[in-house]
Amino acid sequence: MPLYEYACLDCRTKFDALRSIKDADAPIACPHCEGLQTSRLLSLFNAHSDGRTITQSAPACSSCSTHACSTCGVN
């Protein structure tokens, strides 16, 4: 079951909760003030993918697709 992070809009408390995916956006009571004015924050799980860099091989030049013409050699 994934861990979600919530914030209470009333008392500003942040708290974590293990919930099933279908209940992720269902109302959840704040453990501090028991209010239901809570909203789900972006999960920590999703934040991890932001730092990844995708490396690509250099594309062929516009005049060939073999990386072997004279224009390719300039690069």
Q: Which residues bind Zn ion (CB under 5 A)?
A: 8, 10-11, 13, 30, 32-33, 35
Nearest to 39 by CA among 1, 9, 4: 9
Q: Which is nearer to Zn ion, 33 or 60 (CB)?
A: 33
Residue for token pair 């594309």: 59
Shortest distance (Å) from residue 21 CB to Zn ion:
24
Compute the least distance from the CB of residue 7 to Zn ion, in Å.
9
Q: Which two tokens stand for residue 31?
A: 């453990």
Closer residue to Zn ion (CB): 28 or 30: 30
Q: Which residues contact 5 (CB under 8 A, 6 or more apart)?
A: 14, 15, 16, 40, 41, 42, 43, 44
Nearest distance from C-beta of residue 62 to Zn ion, angstroms: 59
